[in-house]
Amino acid sequence: MATVAEAQQSQLRNIETSTGRTIDAWVALIAASGRSRHGEIVPWLKAEHGLSHGTAHRLALVAIDRLKAAPVSGSNEDALYPENRRHLLPIHEALLAVVRGFGDDVELAPKKGYVSLRRRKQFAMIQPAANHVDVGLILPGAGTGERLESAATFNALFGNRVRVRSIAEIDAELRGWLRDAYNAAG
Could you read off the pLDDT of 93-145 as tens digits, one per residue? 889 889 988 888 888 888 878 899 999 899 999 999 999 999 999 998 888 88
Phi-psi category of residue 17: left, alpha or beta, with phi > 0 → left and psi -120 to 50 → alpha: alpha
Cα distance between residue 170 and residue 63, in whole Å: 34
Under the banding of pLDDT at 50, 70 and 90, the label for residue 152 is: confident
Cα distance between residue 149 and residue 31, in whole Å: 26
Could you tell me what percentage of the chain is helix, strand and coil, using 3-state DSSP and rounding each to the nearest 5? 50, 15, 35
Q: What is the mean pLDDT of residues 44-55?
A: 93
Which residues share a beta bridge with 36? Answer: none
Give pTM, 2 decimals: 0.60
Over 70: is that where the pLDDT of 1 sits? no
Q: Alpha carbon 155 to chain centroid distance?
A: 13
In this predicted model, which residue has the larger pLDDT, 159 or 78?
159
Mean of per-residue pLDDT scores for the chain: 86
Cα distance between residue 19 and residue 111, in whole Å: 24
Closest CA to 55 of 15, 7, 9: 15
Q: What is the pLDDT of residue 76?
A: 62
Could you read off the pLDDT of 17-41 as tens digits, one per residue? 999 988 877 887 787 777 888 999 9
